[in-house]
């Protein structure tokens, strides 16, 4: 364990992204202190479905990040215990009509050119993959690289398997940053100062707040989503199944409520039903309209679910950045400050690649891909400095 209040790097945030940053930094030989004002996976990670997707990403920087993460998750699955529930079950994206089917095929063609495994599934073969799908669908695409994990346990075990170089401090809020000659050199908490030559902002939807403590702007906004959880069932849904319009919802910058059917089974039996998106600040009020749309969309895809009981629903907030790319790497405006946030709904899936990149930047190692599109300095507007 790192001794005292000194470490090589302080990671603020113990969700999936922060845990991955700590995991890879420790494996690279760094002493890491992880801080969270709550508990492990207490924010967005704990409210997620555990999606590890390549299927929902247009060709470009985020897809490159997702493909790298898919390979890393496969390796991590050999290291993490079975209760993490890593399940490489693949995804099935379906189209309700001819226009949607043509758009989905065009996307799949472009994804294949970028390295994604994608198999076109004609309408008459869809029920070979998913016997309980509704009849009359226009076709789909099967993505064998899509997978799922139990997110809270994955974050916890990423920290645990990092070994003695990681020191975890939960229930401890960062109230300020220590700066020397304009560089970040640690954090301040109610329990005292912690010093390190590098501080990683992995605070998810609160990433903008931490950035403002350093006097820089990172315009992270919360985007609320709900998940419905059914009673335990036999495995009626084999893959991650969603309607093609989900891809457009992910890419949309709209603040209004958007819903699209996303349905998947779990090893323990319940079916998870999403997905909704809306920007309402940090309002956790239950939206009956969002839940009604989710239930209707799921039943439209899988009529067998129409009579199944929903046992509970929960809300979470995705860390949204305006250009829909995460901020990963050093902040060029403040030496010593690094960012790993703004992944929107893909943070769990993209966590390993993000953690590996941050560890390589911290140690001067070879970067696995071009990180310039994720440069935190692309948001250049100054922010009012917070207390230090």
Q: Virtual CA dihedral for 313, 314, 320, 324, nearest 10 degrees? A: -40
- Helices of type H across the chain: 16-27, 61-79, 98-113, 126-129, 151-160, 207-213, 245-251, 288-301, 347-363
In a domain, 240, yes or no: yes
285 phi and psi angles, rounded to 5 deg: -55, 135
Q: What is the CATH number of the domain that holds 361?
A: 3.50.50.60
- Name, in order, each residue with C-beta under 8 angstroms of 237's C-beta and a sequence gap of 6 or more: 130, 132, 263, 264, 265, 271, 302
Nearest CA to 132 out of 260, 267, 233, 259 is that of 233
Confidence of residue 384 (pLDDT cuts 50, 70, 90): very low
- Same domain? For 103 and 249 the reply is yes
In a domain, 72, yes or no: no
- Same domain? For 216 and 226 the reply is no
- Same domain? For 128 and 243 the reply is yes
- Same domain? For 159 and 300 the reply is no
Q: Which residues pair with 51 in a beta bridge?
A: 148
User: What's the average model confidence in pLDDT over 210-223?
Assistant: 96
In a domain, 387, yes or no: no
pLDDT in tens, 81-118: 999 999 999 999 999 999 999 999 999 999 999 999 99
> Is pLDDT above 90 for 12?
yes
Nearest CA to 22 out of 172, 210, 193, 167 is that of 167
Cis peptide before 275 (omega within 30 of 0): yes
How far apart are alpha carbons 134 and 5 in whole angstroms?
Answer: 58
- Helix, strand, coil proportions of the chain in percent (round to 5)? 35, 30, 40
What is each CA distance from 4 to 21, 39, 136, 196, in whole angstroms?
Answer: 21, 21, 64, 11
How far apart are alpha carbons 286 and 364 in whole angstroms?
Answer: 46
In a domain, 2, yes or no: no
In a domain, 360, yes or no: yes
- Same domain? For 252 and 310 the reply is yes
Helices and strands of the chain, counted as H and E runs: 9, 19
pLDDT in tens, 273-327: 988 999 999 999 999 999 999 999 999 999 999 999 999 999 999 999 999 999 9
- Same domain? For 158 and 194 the reply is yes
> Is pLDDT above 80 for 4?
no
Domain residue limits at 365: 9-47+152-220+323-378
In a domain, 294, yes or no: yes
Confidence of residue 254 (pLDDT cuts 50, 70, 90): confident
- Same domain? For 347 and 363 the reply is yes
pTM of the model: 0.94
> How many percent of the chain have pLDDT more than 70?
95
How far apart are alpha carbons 177 and 339 in whole angstroms?
Answer: 14
- Same domain? For 273 and 304 the reply is yes
In a domain, 139, yes or no: yes
> Is pLDDT above 80 for 154?
yes
pLDDT in tens, 51-80: 999 999 999 999 999 999 999 999 999 999
For residue 6, the model assigns a pLDDT of: 77
Mean pLDDT over the full length of the chain: 93
Q: What is the CATH number of the domain that holds 315?
A: 3.30.9.10
Q: How many domains does the chain have?
A: 2
In a domain, 198, yes or no: yes
């Amino acid at each position: 364990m790192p001794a005292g209040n000194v470490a090589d790097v302080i990671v603020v945030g113990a969700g999936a992204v922060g845990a991955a940053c700590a995991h890879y930094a420790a494996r690279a030989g760094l002493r890491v202190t992880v801080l969270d004002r709550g508990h492990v996976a207490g924010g967005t990670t704990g409210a997620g479905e555990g999606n590890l997707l390549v299927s929902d990403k247009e060709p470009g920087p985020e897809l490159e990040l997702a493909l790298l993460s898919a390979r890393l998750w496969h390796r991590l699955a050999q290291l993490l215990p079975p209760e993490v529930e890593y399940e490489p079950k693949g995804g099935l994206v379906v189209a309700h009509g001819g226009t949607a089917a043509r758009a989905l095929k065009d996307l799949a063609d472009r994804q294949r050119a970028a390295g994604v495994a994608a198999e076109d599934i004609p309408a008459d073969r869809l029920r070979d993959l998913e016997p309980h799908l509704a009849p009359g669908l226009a076709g789909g695409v099967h993505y064998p690289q899509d997978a799922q994990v139990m997110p809270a346990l994955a974050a916890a075990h990423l920290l645990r398997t990092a070994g003695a170089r990681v020191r975890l401090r939960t229930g401890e809020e960062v109230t300020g940053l220590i700066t020397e000659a304009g560089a970040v050199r640690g954090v301040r908490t109610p329990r005292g100062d912690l010093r390190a030559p590098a501080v990683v902002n992995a605070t998810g939807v609160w990433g903008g707040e931490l950035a403002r403590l350093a006097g820089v702007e990172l315009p992270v906004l919360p985007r609320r989503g709900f998940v419905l959880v059914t009673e335990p069932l036999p495995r009626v849904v084999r893959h991650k199944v969603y309607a093609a319009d989900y891809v457009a919802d992910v890419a949309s910058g709209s603040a209004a409520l958007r819903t699209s059917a996303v349905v998947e089974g779990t090893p323990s039996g319940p079916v998870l039903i999403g997905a909704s998106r809306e920007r309402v600040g940090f309002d956790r009020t239950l939206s009956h309209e969002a839940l009604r749309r989710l239930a209707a969309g799921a039943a439209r895809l899988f009529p067998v679910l129409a009579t199944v009981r929903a046992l509970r629903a929960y809300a979470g907030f995705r860390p949204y950045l305006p250009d829909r790319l995460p901020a990963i790497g050093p902040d060029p405006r403040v030496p010593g400050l690094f960012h790993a946030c703004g992944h929107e709904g893909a943070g769990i899936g993209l966590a390993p690649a993000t953690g590996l990149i941050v560890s390589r930047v911290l140690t001067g190692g070879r970067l696995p891909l071009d990180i310039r599109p994720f440069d935190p300095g692309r948001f250049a507007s100054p922010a009012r400095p917070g207390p230090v």
